[in-house]
Structure 1
Amino acid sequence: MYSRLWVLIVILLTGSVTMAQDNANIAGKWYGTFKLYYGDKYRMIIDLQKDGAGYKGTLQLPEMSDNDYFELETVVYRKDTLLLRIDALRFSFTGVWDPAVNQFRGITGFADDQSHSDLGRKEITAAEMYKRPQEPKPPFPYYTEQVKFNNIKDSVTLAGTFTRPAAQGKYPVVLMLSGSGPQDRNEEIAGHKLFLVLADYFARNGIASLRYDDRGFAGSTGDFDTSDIYDFSHDALTALKYLKTRKDVDPARIGLLGHSEGAVVAQITAANNPAVAFVISMGGVGVSGRELIDQQSAAKGKMAGKSDSLILADQARMKPYWDLLASDSDIAVVTPKAQEILRNIYRNSSEDVKKGQTEDELVRASVMRPETISLLRYKPLTYLKQIKCPFMAINGTADIQVDANANLKEIERALNENGNLLTTIRKFDGLNHLFQRCKTCEVNEYGELEQTIDPLVPAFMAHWILQLPPQEDR
């Protein structure tokens, strides 16, 4: 990762900009965007005012907080270079004036992410940040209803959207389960609303759906940060019970569709559960959470051009840390031991590694929520062998988060060896973890791609659902 100083040096040495006048007035509002890990874009509004011989100002982040203004702790403007910092937010901007476009061109740092950013005078609207041609717009030619249902066991109220074809009738229904981290009902990632697009396609093709906000997020109550995958399964079971009360749902054709972590939740929910008519696993795992860590590190290493020997060396260095966290020991007991392992790894790392992060920052960033720990310790075989209903597992071959070959092979093996031959396994060539047709296929590309999902995927799923016989006919 390039340092901000090095980027500035490169710009200056290449002569791609000319010096601005020393007395140029930069007071007023400046607008820009920056990207985070998955390519999510966020607007920033910088408002600068003269302050003696220098400047002071505020930062506004509309996507993160509608009305909050954060005081800039550092504002340095010398000739053509602008430096802004708010250490409490771990925010920084370093840019060089480019008179060809009348903008500061540079780097924004936010938490652990850095991205190229421009600051200009033109206001940026939310609609201008992304192009999403597949996102449906009202009026919709089908029925939608905002609903709420209660997980009494955990005292959680879940808010969601039920969608079905416009005509009255009893429809097969898909309950959608979202991936890791707090997600809204549309599973919005980097401006892509995957579940909204799927619900739209299903409703236009004779299939109902229910999608809901994760507990503790958007319209749902509860505490996400203290919850794990088994708590999320309780929410899914509550949603299943709610669907059975609806007169426009065929109770013999209620299935689960889980994406990424949601596929894990679907496995847990469907195990020994006759109420589940089918399961669709999108980008789901068949190997243990511990094995998945090594698969992901290998995939990222290859994307970075590392040799196999270097990848294996990296895995060996981290093995004690991951093995300890993945053990069945009490997490409160193993956490300080794991952090000490991490400190030793840091101390023995190269200076280049240490430049990007301090030892304490690394340890703080390593603190895991119950959700992450439960995923790390998850063993799919335990639940897959208890699933008897039709099961579809699909993965993209360009997915660097969940390897298609290894995970589909294990899913199929676990189901078949325990007598479930109602399995459909499919690899989609050239698709990433979001089932987009990708170019670099790295995770930070998700937001750059206009496609939300390759059209072949919802068509394949809908056809499969519609040809399934009701439960009583099996």
Structure 2
Amino acid sequence: MRYLQSLLLMLLLGLPTAMPAVAAPSQDDAVAVATRLLDHMEAGEYEAASADFSPQMKAALGADKLAAVQQQLAAAGAQTGRDAPTVSEQSGMTVVVVRIHREQASVDATIAVDGDGKVAGLHYAPAAEPAAAAPAVDANAGYSERDFAVGSGKRALPGTLAMPDAAGADHRVAAVVLVHGSGPHDRDESIGPNRPFLDIARGLAAQGIAVLRFDKRSKARPQDYADGKVTIDSETTDDAVAAVAALREAPGIDPARVFVLGHSQGAMMAPRIAARSGHVAGLVLLAAPARPLLDILVEQNIRLAVLDDGKTSDAEAAAIARLKGQVAAIRAGGKVAIADSPMNQPADYWRSTEAVDPVAEAKAVALPMLVLQGAQDIQVVDADWQRWKGGFHDDPKVEFKLYPTLNHLGMAVEGEQGPAQYQQPGHVDPSLIADVAGWIQAQAAD
């Protein structure tokens, strides 16, 4: 799931994609405007914060909405500092990006200042840290890694194939495509200092199973969504289907034994990926939602509001009420502006998620499945686990494993529950990886 986006906020007016050709303000002036805005926001002076807004911004973001945003930011702890701003010119505006550090997370504030010196765009998002290169594979690991593209041409997505040493023309191996949770993930599904897909890929490869992981389109090629048209399928399904097809053709891979392992939203979409591919041997679902994502999003915000102090503040209640109103607007079927849509995603995106019924779609494909859940997961919870069990408890092709100490990432929880746990370095539990390897090998032997 979008762990910081759903835990903090990330909703405001997006930056315009095109503006009239007018002179951009000086960088110094734009930085002064941005600094003044952020100072007022942190001080709780929301009327003053909007003083430099353009007329369109004032219409979209009143003091009440700014207050709700700041309250959600505060859920990540007190502000501990800001980095020096970075400045660029885009479409006749000067764009200022300021990284704000809080106790539990860092956030990038992007402020666009127009030629009149007014704030024409404001966007908060979890800080995007450049991922360090993955450590080299040990020479005695029993597998190697190589670059592997998903798709062709300029729209191809970069990936990595972990291939067991034993694979070859005379010994074709089973293989897995990893499918990310929601949000713009890299191929390792990097979340804070953790890389769950790197752990899973190398753990399975060491046990003789090839694994393909690739950068998600929203991470590698966000420009492909510049027209604002994005659905759950263009974000997840289509590229995963292409990954399955590409992997089946790779030398040393048994095309009849290609599996899909989906995490979180990727697990929710795995049955659809299998249906559209027609060439998937089985599914591994890790932390799989079984209910509508919009319902889960509301639940997450309610749950997280009380994690810090056991109660919901007035500001938190107002933010939750606003989110519920946004969800109702999406479900009503009319036109919904980006600024009034959950998490600043287009209405069509959310409506495409509403059409997904993962349990029903899994029943339709009727494939072998291994369903995995951490009991300490605060994002995909017991209600989802029970719905999967209720749908398949009597299906001999489906196995379930519940891990009492593991969280949403398949890692052991240390300390209190909450968003801070994702900033604690860890690794996917080896027993979970061993369970996946054993299950795949058992399917391959049938």
Shorter-chain TM-score range? 0.5 to 0.7
State the number of aligned residues: 346
- Structure 1 distance, partners of 2:323, 2:101, is 33
5 Å matches for 1:185-204? 185-204=187-206
Higher relative contact order, structure no. (Cα contacts within 8 Å, ≥ 6 residues apart): 2
Match of 1:441 in 2: 417
Match of 2:397 in 1: 422
Match of 2:438 in 1: 463
5 Å matches for 1:103-114? 110-111=108-109, 112=124
Contact 1:158 1:220 in 2 (8 A): no
1:406 to 369, 380, 383: 383
Q: Does 1:234 align with 2:211?
A: no
- Structure 2 distance, partners of 1:4, 1:320, is 26
Q: Does 1:143 align with 2:147?
A: no
5 Å matches for 1:305-316? 305-306=309-310
Q: CA deviation at 1:239?
A: 1.4
What per-residue deviation string (whole Å, max 9, x for no partner) do you get for residues 232-253 of structure 1?
A: 2121111111122123111221
Change (3 A) 1:464 1:114: closer
Contact 1:156 1:221 in 2 (8 A): no
Contact 1:151 1:234 in 2 (8 A): no
- Structure 2 distance, partners of 1:248, 1:43, is 51
Contact 1:37 1:444 in 2 (8 A): no
Match of 2:162 in 1: 163
What per-residue deviation string (whole Å, max 9, x for no partner) do you get for residues 54-99 of structure 1?
A: xxxxx46xxxxxxxx679xxxxxxxxxxxxxx994355689xxxxx
Q: Does 1:293 align with 2:297?
A: yes
Contact 2:137 2:144 in 1 (8 A): no
Q: CA deviation at 1:316?
A: 6.7
Q: CA deviation at 1:373?
A: 4.9
- Structure 2 distance, partners of 1:309, 1:4, is 18
3-state SS of paired residue (1:172)? strand
Change (3 A) 1:165 1:323: same
The one-letter code of the counterpart of 1:201 is G
Match of 1:431 in 2: 406
Q: CA deviation at 1:451?
A: 0.6
Q: CA deviation at 1:308?
A: 9.5
- Structure 1 distance, partners of 2:386, 2:326, is 27
Match of 1:9 in 2: none
Contact 1:290 1:377 in 2 (8 A): no
Contact 1:185 1:195 in 2 (8 A): yes
Contact 1:184 1:218 in 2 (8 A): yes
Q: 290-299 or 405-414: which moved more?
A: 290-299
Identity %: 23
Change (3 A) 1:451 1:146: same
What per-residue deviation string (whole Å, max 9, x for no partner) do you get for residues 447-467 of structure 1?
A: 2x1213222221221122112
What per-residue deviation string (whole Å, max 9, x for no partner) do you get for residues 431-457 of structure 1?
A: 22112222222123312x121322222
Match of 2:97 in 1: 89
What per-residue deviation string (whole Å, max 9, x for no partner) do you get for residues 335-373 of structure 1?
A: 14xx8xxxxxxxxxxxxxxxxxxxxxx759853145555
Q: 286-295 or 232-241: which moved more?
A: 286-295
RMSD: 4.3
Gapped regions of structure 2 (runs ≥ 5): 1-7, 9-40, 45-72, 110-123
Change (3 A) 1:363 1:378: same
Match of 1:245 in 2: 249
5 Å matches for 1:39-438? 46=84, 59=85, 88-89=96-97, 110-111=108-109, 112=124, 136-140=135-139, 141=141, 142-150=143-151, 156-167=155-166, 168=168, 169-215=171-217, 217-218=219-220, 222-223=224-225, 226-231=229-234, 232-271=236-275, 274-306=278-310, 318-327=323-332, 329=333, 333-336=334-337, 363=340, 366-369=343-346, 371-375=349-353, 378-403=356-381, 405-415=382-392, 420-438=395-413
3-state SS of paired residue (2:280)? coil
Q: CA deviation at 1:37?
A: 9.1
**How high is the TM-score relative to the length of structure 1?**
0.61
3-state SS of paired residue (1:280)? strand
Q: CA deviation at 1:207?
A: 0.6
Q: Which has the larger radius of gyration?
A: 1
**How high is the TM-score relative to the length of structure 2?**
0.65
3-state SS of paired residue (2:220)? coil
Q: CA deviation at 1:421?
A: 3.1
Q: CA deviation at 1:109?
A: 6.7
Change (3 A) 1:390 1:312: farther
Contact 1:280 1:393 in 2 (8 A): yes
3-state SS of paired residue (1:400)? coil
Match of 1:49 in 2: none
Say which structure is richer in helix.
2
Q: CA deviation at 1:380?
A: 2.2
